[in-house]
Amino acid sequence: EQYRYLENMGDGNHMIIRNNAIRHTSWDAQEGVLTSWYGQLDPAVQAMVQPVANSFTTGEVYHASVNFTGGANWIPDNLEGAVAADLTQVAPGGTARAFALSLADVTRLSGPGLAFPNPAQRGSVALGWWWLRTSASSMQAWHVSTIGNLIGSLGRMHSATLGGVRPALILHQARN
């Protein structure tokens, strides 16, 4: 299975994410990788992709400032401001494209009965760790570790064989 279903967003829209991270991608390089990956999708798939914001206002939050519930680094419970508001949605007038999930997206999609019901569903060595689009500082960014934890202390220039970026899409499937 190449993609993982994340959620039914209503109106025939569904959010999906690539199963495996595109390896050797730094946080700073992820936009270019997302654009290139999207450009290689089959035109029939691209035709189903819904527009999202042309740019995301992600905010920034230090790892040490975040409180977690349900275990170590599992679900943040004190996100505020731009970080909390950075939820991906269809944006008329936006751009049909691939995107990285935000810290707020992963928080909203994590827990019992959701896309990521437990840490193992969020991360594994086979899937690779993966960047979020949320910054932790001018030098660090958030990622999902290979054990499914949210970590906001990896250097934004870090690029490795064990992880990278996991493109997500919002698709519209017409009703029959």
How many Cα atoms are found within 13 Å in the side-chain-facing hemisphere of 4?
17
**Amino acid present at 121:** Q
> What Å distances lie between residue 96 and 7, 51, 168, CA to CA?
18, 4, 11
The structure tokens listed for 59 are 């905010």
Q: For residues 97, 118, 22 and 46, what is the CA-based torsion angle, rounded to 10 degrees?
A: -30
| Interatomic CA distance for residues 13 and 172, integer angstroms | 4
| Interatomic CA distance for residues 164 and 36, integer angstroms | 14
Are 150 and 74 in contact by the 8 Å Cβ rule? The answer is: yes
Q: Indicate the pairing of strand 163-165 with strand 168-172.
A: unpaired
| Interatomic CA distance for residues 146 and 125, integer angstroms | 5
In tens digits, the chain (176 residues) has pLDDT values of: 599 999 999 889 999 999 999 999 999 999 999 999 999 999 999 999 999 999 999 999 999 999 999 988 999 999 999 999 999 999 999 999 999 999 999 999 999 999 999 999 999 999 899 999 999 999 999 999 999 999 999 999 999 889 999 999 999 976 55
What is the Cα 135 distance to its own chain's centre?
Answer: 12
Name residue 169's beta-bridge partners.
Answer: 16
What is the Cα 30 distance to its own chain's centre?
Answer: 11
